[in-house]
Structure 1
Amino acid sequence: MIRPAVLAAVRDGEVDLAFRRWERPRVRVGTRLRTAVGLVEVTSLEQVAASSLTAADAARAGAASVAELRDALAGRPGPVWRIGLAHAGPDPREALRATVPTEAEVVELRAWLDRLDRASSYGAWTRQALALIDEFPGRRAPELAEIVGRPTPEFKTDVRKLKEKGLTESLDIGYRLSVRGAAVLGVPPPEVGGTPLPKVGAPASRALTAAGVRTLEQAAAWSLDDLAALHGVGPVALERLRAALGR
């Protein structure tokens, strides 16, 4: 878990370390983590003594002081691990979602959907899920699952499989069909207008939508103070909007 402000600093090259207390490492060198700012790669991993931490370590980890860094680690079990981090570019699924597949790729993707359907213990579900997301973009997963009479966790797991191929996109609330998914399903592509907002959480997403702010360009017309005044837009959501707007 990395705070939004620290993630933005990793993206900008201002932070390149993290410190965690773990009984055993939970990442390895070369691991790429999907985050709100794209891919973050683990470049190094070593166990260190908490007493060896310096002010330079704290600054490179986005902490105000070594005391703050040590306080964040205090009271947690396990040894301290020093983790090197580097921004590794955008999440490749973002570009994939916006790419119109060739006819050959459509054939290949539909064959992949067929294999998922055949392997399913509850029957064909792939086209049904895609069509449901196309019909109800932004609808909560439990509501979509209820429509097709399936348990929510099971439905969400299946939608994640579609997302891995760039066919759908997760929103703060629900999902939407991607350009790629529309081509595979054989329906008109979704309307694309403006830059999508960053993931800001469901309460903030509802508040922004109610205020008519659906794209980053629309958010740019608002001051940060006015955005913060919207009920539901908390500090984390505001920081993600600030970072996306470059303010």
Structure 2
Amino acid sequence: MLFRQHLHPGLADGSVTLAFRRWRRPTVKAGGTLRSPIGVLAIDAVDVVPAHTISDDDARRAGAADRAALLRELRAGENDEIHRIAFHHVGADPRTALREDGDLSPEQLDALRARLAQIDARSGRGAWTVATLELIRAHPGTRAGDLAARVQREKLRFKTDVRKLKELGLTESLGTGYRLSPRGEALMTAIDAG
């Protein structure tokens, strides 16, 4: 579930606590969490409601000016069924602190190397993790499609692989492209050193 950038301040300060979506199936569930650009959101409830039951207050809690503006944005008619998602902000994305930690012990470096080896071993195409980190290090801020083309990969699969590295705190997304995080830089420095 994505949120438009203009909603980020409201997500952070707690004034945006609802979202409405026209989904065939929900992509989040009550009791789960969702990482967003402002941190982690806890999903409190996911319900299907008729559009005509959405109030102006509900719309404002979703970051819209009023009910009419929300329905226009959703391209929803009065009788359409809409998913109503209630949530609250629970804190920073733990990956943020992880990727900022560039002071890695030898044990942490060994654990990261072992994790990359596991990912490579499960890959149908062999070792790719370190090569991808090297590519990102050499071309920070480069569009994913351009990086994928450099290694003759399909863009969406390449992005999926980069997300695996991001989960380990090794990369971070930029407005355009990626860069190595301090944690990723520390790992690559250790790899370079042998």
The bucket for the TM-score relative to the shorter chain is 0.7 to 0.9
Q: 1:94 aligns with which of 77, 86, 96?
A: 96
Indicate if the aligned counterparts of 1:134 and 1:177 stay in contact, CA closer than 8 A.
yes
| Partner residue in 2 for 1:20 | 21
The alpha-carbon distance between structure 1 residues 135 and 87, as it changes in their structure 2 partners (threshold 3 A), is same
Give the gaps of 5 or more residues in structure 1: 189-247
TM superposition shift of 1:23:
3.7
Tell me the secondary structure at the aligned position of residue 161 of structure 1. Answer: helix
- Quote the Cα distance in structure 2 between the aligned partners of 1:24 and 1:120: 30
Aligned CA RMSD, in angstroms, stands at 2.5
| Partner residue in 1 for 2:141 | 138
Tell which has more relative contact order, 1 or 2 (C-alpha 8 A, sep 6+): 2
| Partner residue in 2 for 1:85 | 87
TM superposition shift of 1:180:
0.9
| Partner residue in 2 for 1:127 | 130
Between stretches 22-31 and 125-134, larger displacement belongs to 22-31
Deviations 1:52-95 (A, max 9, x none): 22232222222222332333342499522322121122221111
The alpha-carbon distance between structure 1 residues 117 and 15, as it changes in their structure 2 partners (threshold 3 A), is closer
TM superposition shift of 1:170:
1.6
Indicate if the aligned counterparts of 2:136 and 2:178 stay in contact, CA closer than 8 A.
yes
Tell me the secondary structure at the aligned position of residue 15 of structure 1. Answer: coil
Q: TM-score, normalised by structure 2?
A: 0.82
| Partner residue in 1 for 2:65 | 64
Indicate if the aligned counterparts of 1:22 and 1:79 stay in contact, CA closer than 8 A.
no
| 1:45 paired to 2:46 | yes
Deviations 1:161-207 (A, max 9, x none): 1111011112222211111112222259xxxxxxxxxxxxxxxxxxx
Deviations 1:202-244 (A, max 9, x none): xxxxxxxxxxxxxxxxxxxxxxxxxxxxxxxxxxxxxxxxxxx
- Quote the Cα distance in structure 2 between the aligned partners of 1:77 and 1:93: 41
Q: Which structure dedicates a bigger proportion of its chain to strand? A: 2
| Partner residue in 2 for 1:7 | 8
- Quote the Cα distance in structure 1 between the aligned partners of 2:72 and 2:29: 25
The alpha-carbon distance between structure 1 residues 135 and 187, as it changes in their structure 2 partners (threshold 3 A), is farther
Q: For residue 133 of structure 2, what is the amino acid of its counterpart? A: L
| Partner residue in 2 for 1:229 | none
Tell me the secondary structure at the aligned position of residue 91 of structure 2. Answer: coil
Deviations 1:124-156 (A, max 9, x none): 222211122222212233333343343333332
The alpha-carbon distance between structure 1 residues 81 and 158, as it changes in their structure 2 partners (threshold 3 A), is closer
- Quote the Cα distance in structure 2 between the aligned partners of 1:182 and 1:106: 11
- Quote the Cα distance in structure 1 between the aligned partners of 2:27 and 2:149: 35
The alpha-carbon distance between structure 1 residues 53 and 149, as it changes in their structure 2 partners (threshold 3 A), is closer
| Partner residue in 2 for 1:194 | none
Tell me the secondary structure at the aligned position of residue 137 of structure 1. Answer: coil
Deviations 1:105-137 (A, max 9, x none): 110110111122223332322221112222221
How many pairs align? 188
TM superposition shift of 1:43:
1.2
Give the gaps of 5 or more residues in structure 2: none
- Quote the Cα distance in structure 2 between the aligned partners of 1:139 and 1:20: 32
| Partner residue in 2 for 1:180 | 183
Q: TM-score, normalised by structure 1?
A: 0.67
